[in-house]
Amino acid sequence: MSTRAAEGGAAGNPARRLFAMVLACEAIVIALAIPVAVAVLDVDGATAGAVCGSLAVACLVLAGLLRRPWAVPAGTALQVLIIATGFMVPAMFFLGAVFGALWWTAIWLGRKAASARPR
């Protein structure tokens, strides 16, 4: 077993790349919800920027912290918060649910891959 795998590196969690991709794409989508909220739905720019901007930054920061044991549960909580942005931009209910489904798929695939490894 490589040292990197023993330390929980990229080989340690096969779903880590999928988690990171979901979070990175989610950051882009949530950032793009800001102008929609302001221009189309007449949400205050400061409110839309603070809520969506902080969630987008949280997605990117969390993508970089996926080696931490608490990162996946924190990502799950973040998925709930992103779905809740649907109260500001209704399309985010759907988009948040799609990303939440991708997040749960990554969890499922990670568990499946971890159990398939030789022990």
DSSP assignment of 20-58: HHHHHHHHHHHHHHHHIIIIIT---HHHHHHHHHHHHHH
Per the rule left: phi > 0, alpha: psi between -120 and 50, beta: everything else, 8 is: left
Confidence of residue 117 (pLDDT cuts 50, 70, 90): low
- With 50 as the cut, is the pLDDT of residue 3 above it? no
Q: What is the DSSP string of 98-118?
A: HHHHHHHHHHHHHHHHHHHS-
Mean pLDDT lowest among 23-32, 53-62, 90-99, 110-119 = 110-119
For 46-89, what is each residue's pLDDT tens digit?
999 999 999 999 999 999 999 999 999 999 999 999 999 999 99
**Whole-angstrom distance, CA of residue 54 vs CA of residue 105:** 25
Using 50, 70 and 90 to split pLDDT, how confident is the model at 119? low
Q: How confident is the model at residue 8 (pLDDT cuts 50, 70, 90)?
A: very low
